[in-house]
Structure 1
Amino acid sequence: MSIDHDRLFKQLIQTFFEEFIALFFPTMHEHIDFRHVSFLSEELFTDVTAGEKYRVDLLVETKLKGEDGLVIVHIENQSYVQPSFPERMFIYFSRLLEKYRKPIVPIAVFSYDTIRNERSAFTLQFPFGHVLDFRFFTLELRKQNWRNYIRQDNPIAAALLSKMGYTESERVELKKQFLRMLVRMELDEAKQRLLFGFFETYVKLSDEEEQQLRREVSEMETKEKEQVLELIISYEQRALERGREEGMKQGMKHIVQTMARKGMSIQNIASMTDLTEEEVKQLLENK
């Protein structure tokens, strides 16, 4: 199943917007008044020439300190290499400016696994003159050394360790430090699940690596040892429960579809399986 990278990043940054700006754009953070933050609805733009539709990832309306007017922060996650991306950022900027008539702060987050020197500008010039020099803020995650962030009690830092520059041999240590960060931050369960789910999407340890992780945590001498172990056990139990639920759902789906193939009506299937007719219909539709 393909990963919806844009949705994951949008949910993460929308939940921890101020933490994201504070961590990666500290000078910008000093100027934004975070008492005034609202998230705008998604914008869908059509590229008539290419015949493609693009959805803007995240739009945040806010204020600058000491100023009355509103500004819009546009954050775009780019999960794949696209040479024309700077041009697309300029098109987004132009259309957003045209619609909202407010200053736009454009930010691009490059989250793919390769290391490149990404452009942060779109220029248009001729031999006889310079027409356009559009620039945007950038964050290239793979260029970030994950060890520089493990002392940050910042939820964005914890989640995005999974997309930073680490080697295969560092995967176990990476997850151990991620868990230690979760324990230190003492987040509520919903936010903790969001961070854990994001991290696990991009860093899934093998069974052997998980065993190594548990051994290393057991040997820790810090006061976090028991809390980290509890966290590991808690999420292992939740994964098992999700697996059981999915297994039961797939089993029931097979039974319902078999009964339907034998010519049984939806009403009869519902009465024999203790499902509602709507649930039976959904199982039959999800083939």
Structure 2
Amino acid sequence: MSPSETNDYDSPWKEALEVYFPDFMAFFFPQAYEDIDWSRGYEFLDQEFQQIVRDAELGKRLVDKLVKVWRKDNQEALVLIHLEVQSQYEALFDQRVFVYNYRIFDRYKLPVATLVILADDRPNWTPKNFGYELWDSKISFEFPSVKLLQYQDQWDQLQEDVNPFAVMVMAHLKTQATRQQPNQRLQWKLEVTKSLYRRGYSRQNILELFRLVNWIMTLPEELESSFNTEIAAFEEEEKMPYITPLERFAQAAGVSAGVLTSRREDILDILETRFGTVPSSLSDRINAIDDATYLKTLLIQAVTLSSLEEFERAIAPNS
């Protein structure tokens, strides 16, 4: 898989993790989901994790996410989500996730659950453990891994499942299956997109998932035009005008200025509701940010961080 193809997979999965983290846990790791006290929120530790990765000299990872959660037994825990796409990591993958795990534990002294999603196209590659022994000394590390290819035989269930990650898996599998087959990808993209309307999603979730599907299932320009025309006709037929032509154009081209403005306003509204008046210096910094993905991360932090001061420290210094 080329670097550009990998990035096409990486970026929407990273954003989906940030937007729909509880849904991610419920879909792929339901037992862990049931053990987490979601009423206490959760906190992404992206900057801290990247420092750990640099310290381990293992290279920057785009999709790996480190999340602090509370368990129902009132104990803190850490969740390391690892999404593996790039085939070149196969040889040392199990060792690498072991190193991540023990370095995170060494830093935080908290239990660390390493949860792995294998999004590659190699059906026989299913790493689940790492270990070695010498004389009477032994290391054994096991981690659960979910292979997205296993959902190929569960298409009917994916079509009925309202979890957003059922849509992500559908889009991912059909993108993998239609490399060098743009006309087939067009048909699958139409099917996946139309399925959004049948799941009972809110308009906001339809727009969000439409954007993610569009990001994953890229088409040549002429086929993208055909796709937009057919979706418009479908909306008219079903009397579901959720995605206007202007929004379809904006989603295909990127995030519109209106979306950026809305995200900034949402962040400021949440901060004011939780902590009172927001200093003008902070609001100016937020209003100067034009990175949609970063604004989404800040939106989550506005909800989950415990103080305005902590939120100010979380904003990158150059923001």
Q: TM-score, normalised by structure 1?
A: 0.68
Q: Is the 8 A contact 1:13 1:156 kept in 2?
A: no
Is the aligned partner of 1:25 residue 2:37? no
Q: Quote how far apart the aligned CAs of 1:6 are.
A: 4.2
Paired AA for residue 29 in structure 2? F
Question: Which residue of the partner structure matches residue 60 of structure 1?
Answer: 67
- Larger RCO (CA within 8 A; separation ≥ 6): 2
Is the aligned partner of 1:186 residue 2:201? yes
Question: Which residue of the partner structure matches residue 136 of structure 1?
Answer: 143
Question: Which residue of the partner structure matches residue 289 of structure 2?
Answer: none
Paired AA for residue 141 in structure 1? L
State the Cα deviation string for residues 193-236 of structure 1 (Å, max 9, x = none): 44223222321245458648966996x8x998343x76484554
Paired AA for residue 41 in structure 1? L
Give SS of 2:98's match.
helix
Q: Is the 8 A contact 1:150 1:177 kept in 2?
A: no
Which aligned pairs between 1:1-287 and structure 2 lie closer than 5 A? 2=4, 3=7, 5-42=9-46, 43=49, 44-46=51-53, 52-53=59-60, 57-65=64-72, 67-81=73-87, 82=89, 83-126=91-134, 128-129=135-136, 131-145=138-152, 147=155, 148-164=157-173, 167-168=177-178, 171-183=185-197, 184-189=199-204, 191-206=205-220, 207-208=222-223, 211=226, 225-227=238-240, 231=243, 233=245, 235-238=247-250
Q: Quote how far apart the aligned CAs of 1:32 are.
A: 1.7
Alpha-carbon distance in 2 for matches of 1:125, 1:75: 27
Q: TM-score, normalised by structure 2?
A: 0.62
Paired AA for residue 162 in structure 1? A
Question: Which residue of the partner structure matches residue 284 of structure 2?
Answer: none
Alpha-carbon distance in 2 for matches of 1:9, 1:64: 25
Identity of aligned residues (%): 19
Relative to its length, the structure with more strand (as a share) is 1
Alpha-carbon distance in 2 for matches of 1:139, 1:87: 18
Q: CA RMSD in A?
A: 3.7
Q: Quote how far apart the aligned CAs of 1:179 are.
A: 1.9
Give the unaligned 5+ runs of structure 1: 246-287
Alpha-carbon distance in 2 for matches of 1:231, 1:32: 35
Give the unaligned 5+ runs of structure 2: 258-319
Alpha-carbon distance in 1 for matches of 2:104, 2:55: 17
Alpha-carbon distance in 2 for matches of 1:100, 1:199: 36
Aligned residues: 239
Q: Is the 8 A contact 1:45 1:55 kept in 2?
A: no
